[in-house]
Amino acid sequence: MIAGIFSLLAQLLHAGLVLALAPVLIGFVRFIKARLMGRRGPPLLQPWRDILKLLRKRPVLAEGATAITQATPYIACAATFLAACLVPGFAQGMVLAPMADLLLLAGLLALARLALALAGMDAGTAFGGMGAAREMSLSTFAEPVLLLCILVLAMVAGTTNLDTMVATLRDGGVGLRVSLALAAVALLAVALVENARMPADNPATHLELTMVHEAMILEASGRHLALWEMQAALKLLVWMALLSAVFFPWGVAPAAAGPGAWALGLGLWSGKLFGLAFALAVFESAIAKLRIFRVPEFLGVALLLAALAVALLFVSTGLA
Amino acid sequence: MLTMLCLLLAGLAMLTLPALLGWVGVLRLGCVGAMAAMAALAVLALLWPVTEVLALPFGPPWAAALLALDPLSAWFLLLLGLAGCFASLLVGPAPRHELVAYPLFLLGMAVCITAADGFTLLLGFEAMSLASWAMLHERRAARLYLIFAVFGGACLMGALGLLSAGAGSLGFAALRAAPPEGALALAVLAMVLLGAGAKAGLAPLHLWLPLAHPAAPAHVSALMSAVMVKVALYVLLRLVFDLCGGAQPSWWGVPLLLAGAGSAMLGALRANLETDTKAILACSTIENVGLIAVGLGLALMFRGADMAVPAALAMSGALLHVMNHGLFKCLLFLGVGVVLEQAASRRVDGLGGLLGRMPVLGWAMLVGALSAAAIPPLSGFASEWLLLQALLGVWRTGDALFQFAALVALALVAMAVALGAAAMLRFWGLVFLGRPRSPRVAGATDVQGAGRPAVLLPAALCLLLGIFPGLALGLMQPVLAQWLGPAVPGPGGVFGLSAGDAGARYLVLPAALLLGLLALALWRAGMFSAGGSAARAPAWDCGYIAPPPHMPFGFPDTQPSGAGFAQPIARMLGAPLLAGTDVVTVPPPGSPVPARRRAGTTDPTWAALAALRQARHGLSGFLDRLRTLSIRHSLGLMFATLVLLLAVLAVLERP
Distance of CA B649 to the CA centre of its chain: 49
Residue A211, pLDDT > 90, answer no
Q: Which of B266, B280, B360, B375 to probe the A interface (max A CBs under 10 A)?
A: B375
- List beta partners, residue B506: B497
The pLDDT of residue B545? 75
Determine the Cα angle at A214 with ends B347 and B536, to 5°.
Answer: 70
CA B11, chain centre distance (Å): 27
Neighbours of B628 (CB within 10 A): 7
Q: Are B343 and B356 in contact (CB under 8 A)?
A: no
Confidence label for B62 from pLDDT (cuts 50, 70 and 90): confident
Sign for the pseudo-dihedral over CA of B107, B112, B117, B120: positive
CA A83 – CA A90 distance, rounded (Å):
15
B117: which strand partners?
Answer: B171
pLDDT of residue B530: 65
User: Which whole-number Å values give the CA distances from B121 to B89, B111, B158, B176, in the listed order?
Assistant: 27, 7, 13, 15
CB within 8 Å of B354: residues ≥ 6 apart: B339, B343, B361, B362, B431, B432, B436, B441, B444
What angle, 0 to 180 degrees and rounded to 10, lies between the N-to-C axes of helices B253-273 and B562-569? 130
**Cβ–Cβ contact A19 with B under 8 A:** no
* A237: Cα separation from own chain's centroid: 5
What is residue B225's DSSP assignment? I
Has residue A115 got a pLDDT over 90?
A: yes
Judged against a pLDDT cut of 90, whether residue B604 lies above it is answered with no
Measured between beta carbons, which residues in chain B are less than 8 angstroms from residue A62? 536-541
Please report the pLDDT score of residue B503 as a whole number: 67
**Each residue of A221-262: pLDDT tens digit?**
989 999 999 999 999 999 999 999 999 998 899 988 888 899
- Binned at pLDDT 50, 70 and 90, residue B630 comes out as confident
Q: Residue A206 — pLDDT band, cuts 50, 70, 90?
A: low
Strand B596-600 relative to strand A91-92, pairing: unpaired
> What residue of A is the nearest CA neighbor of B497?
A99
Residue B262 has pLDDT above 70, yes or no: yes
What is the structure's pLDDT at B484? 86
**Which DSSP category does B60 fall into?**
S
Bridge-partner residues for B537, per DSSP? Answer: A62
A160 vs B contacts (CB less than 8 Å): 389, 392, 499, 504
> Cis peptide leading into B377, omega within 30 of 0?
yes
Q: What is the mean pLDDT of residues B155-159?
A: 94
Mutate to test the interface with A, among B433, B435, B536 (most CBs of A within 10 A): B433
How, if at all, do strands B535-537 and A60-62 pair?
Answer: parallel
pLDDT in tens, A122-164: 988 888 999 999 999 999 999 999 999 999 999 988 889 999 9
User: What does the pLDDT read at residue B518?
Assistant: 94
What integer best gives the mean pLDDT of chain B?
91
DSSP string, B272-286: HH--BHHHHHHHHHH
- pLDDT at residue number B386: 94
Q: Chain A interface, mutation test: which of B529, B561, B571, most A Cβ atoms within 10 Å?
A: B529
Say whether pLDDT at B202 is over 80. Answer: yes
Question: Using the 8-state DSSP alphabet, how is residue B583 labeled?
Answer: E
| Structure letter (DSSP) for residue B585 | E
pLDDT at residue B544 tops 80: no
The Cα B559–Cα A104 span in angstroms is: 34
CB distance from A171 to chain B under 8 Å?
Answer: no
Residues of B in contact with A310 (CB under 8 A): 407
Q: Is 80 exceeded by the pLDDT of residue B243?
A: yes
Q: Residue B180: which pLDDT band, with cuts at 50, 70 and 90?
A: confident
How many structural domains is chain A composed of? 1
Q: State the DSSP string of B226-267.
A: IIIHHHHHHHHIIIIIIIT-TTS-GGGHHHHHHHHHHHHHHH
The region that residue B468 occupies, defined by phi over 0 for left and psi between -120 and 50 for alpha, beta otherwise, is beta
Cβ <8 Å between B426 and A318 = no
Angle at A143 between CA A142 and CA A147, to 5 degrees: 125
Q: In this structure, how many other beta carbons lie within 10 angstroms of the beta carbon of residue A248?
A: 18
Closest by CA to B62, choosing from B168, B184, B201, is B168
pLDDT of B635 > 80? The answer is yes
| C-alpha span between A128 and A136 (Å, rounded) | 12
Q: How many whole angstroms separate alpha carbon A150 and alpha carbon B170? A: 47
Hey, what's the torsion of the CAs at A72, A75, A76, A79, to 10 degrees?
-170
pLDDT score recorded for residue A320: 54
The Cα of A118 is separated from the nearest Cα of chain B by a number of Å equal to 7
Tell me the mean pLDDT in the region A200-210.
Answer: 72
Average pLDDT over residues B6-28: 91
How far apart are the C-alpha atoms of A142 and B418, rounded to whole Å?
A: 9
Cα–Cα distance, B95 to A308 (Å, whole number): 59
Q: What is the mean pLDDT of residues A200-213?
A: 74
Q: Which of B118, B69, B164, B488 is nearest to B299 (CA)?
A: B488
Q: Decide: A149 and A306 in contact? Cβ < 8 Å.
A: yes
State whether A58 and B400 contact (CB < 8 Å): no
CA-nearest residue to A109 within chain B is: B375
Domain of residue A152, residue span: 2-319
CA distance B365 to B359: 10
Determine whether the interchain pair A147/B410 forms a contact, defined as Cβ–Cβ distance below 8 Å: yes
Our CA-based measurement puts residue B427 at a distance from the nearest CA of chain A, in whole angstroms, of: 11
Lowest mean pLDDT among A7-21, B582-596, B638-652: B582-596
Provide mean pLDDT across the span B80-91.
Answer: 95
Report whether A229 contacts A73 (CB < 8 A): no
* Set of chain A residues whose Cβ sits within 8 Å of the Cβ of B409: none
Contacts of B481 (CB under 8 A, 6+ apart): B71, B488
pLDDT on residue A207: 63
* Complex ipTM more than 0.90, yes or no: yes
CA B554 to chain centre: 38
d(CA B171, CA B231): 19
- Facing B511 at nearest CB: one of A99, A132, A310: A99
> B577: pLDDT confidence band, cut at 50, 70 and 90?
confident
Nearest-neighbour CA in chain A from B596: distance (Å): 14
Range B90-100 average pLDDT = 90
Q: Do A133 and B373 touch (CB under 8 A)?
A: no
The pTM (predicted TM-score) of the whole model is 0.94
Cis peptide before B478 (omega within 30 of 0): no
The predicted model gives B480-497 an average pLDDT of 82
User: Which segment of A263-277, B77-91, B183-197, B482-496 scores lowest on mean pLDDT?
Assistant: B482-496
Please list, in sequence order, all residues whose beta carbon lies within 8 angstroms of the beta carbon of residue B13, skipping any fewer than 6 positions away: B103, B104, B107
| Cβ contacts of B27 within 8 Å, gap of 6 or more | B15, B18, B19, B91, B99, B102, B103
Instruction: Give yes or no for residue A186 having a pLDDT over 70.
Output: yes
Nearest to A129 among B388, B395, B560 (CB): B560
The pLDDT of residue A319 is 60
Residue B593 has pLDDT above 90, yes or no: no
For residues B234 and B241, what is the distance between their CA atoms, to the nearest angstrom?
Answer: 10
- Strand partners of residue B55: B66
Q: 3-class SS at A233?
A: helix
Give the tens place of pLDDT for each residue, B366-381.
Answer: 999 999 999 999 999 9
| % of chain B exceeding 70 in pLDDT | 99
Predicted confidence at residue B607, as pLDDT, reads: 85
pLDDT at position B631 is 87
B572 interaction partners in chain A (CB closer than 8 Å)? 137, 140-141, 293, 296
Residue B81 confidence class, pLDDT cut points 50, 70, 90: very high
Whether residue B430 has pLDDT greater than 60: yes
Contact B531 A311 (CB under 8 A): no
Contacts of B593 by beta carbon, 8 Å cutoff, 6+ apart: B587
Given a cut of 90, whether residue B200 has pLDDT beyond it is yes
Q: How many CB atoms lie within 10 A of CB A275?
A: 13
Confidence of residue B453 (pLDDT cuts 50, 70, 90): very high
The b-or-e profile of B343-372 (16+ CB within 10 A means b, else e) is bebbbbbbbbbbbbbbebbbbbbbbbbbbb
pLDDT recorded at residue B380: 95
- Give residue B88's identity as a one-letter amino acid code: S
| pLDDT score, position B537 | 87
Question: β-strands B596-600, B581-585: how paired?
Answer: antiparallel
Minimal-distance CA residue of chain B relative to A55? B529
